[in-house]
Amino acid sequence: RYRQRLLLRIAAMAGNGTAEQYRFAALSASLNIKDASITRLNNGVHIVLWLIDNASTEATKSAVVQAISVNKPLGVDVTISPARPFPVLVQAKIWRTSSAPANLVAQLAENLQQAWAQQAELGKCLPRSWITAQLHKQGVARIEYLQEQAPPEFSLLAADQYPELSAIELIDAGQA
């Protein structure tokens, strides 16, 4: 996060009113912001905030307004809204190899959650192929998804949505 803000700060030096400047100000305003996206409108700018804790939405929005007002060009209207989650359910049967550990399914679920937290971005989905790659680790012989849309093959997310791992249901199907 710090490295990302450093790069945004350098890009924001090009001038006030750039998307990088607004994004830098938003990410620097509060630690409650995981990510922010900027959309240009006819009469201004719309900022979407991916919040870590939705309970403090108003306080976070106020902090962003204050941070942006320091360098905001005159006459630019700024609107701010929280991002919306796009729930993704992962349901799969996992067949193990003979050398796989007994707790393989639990390890896979934990690894998927960690990878998801690092890869998820505003407006971008994590396709089924990425999920399969995260699950198909050493000790896995085969993966079979239980439903056609759990997880979906590919989902188009709006700029104000982020993929949220709603549930992981992995079934140990035994040895292949």
Buried b (16+ CB within 10 A) or exposed e, 132-152: eebbeeebbeebebeeeebbb
For 132, residues 6+ apart whose C-beta sits below 8 A from its C-beta are 143
CA 17/CA 97 separation, integer angstroms: 56
CA 34/CA 37 separation, integer angstroms: 11
Mean pLDDT on 5-34: 79
CA 129/CA 135 separation, integer angstroms: 10
**What letter represents residue 133's amino acid?**
A
N-to-C CA span, the chain? 42
pLDDT at 156: 87
Percent of the chain at pLDDT > 90 equals 59
pLDDT at 11: 65
77 pLDDT more than 90: no
What DSSP string describes 110-151?
Answer: HHHHHHHHHH-BTTB---HHHHHHHH--TTEEEEEESBTTBS
pLDDT at 131: 94
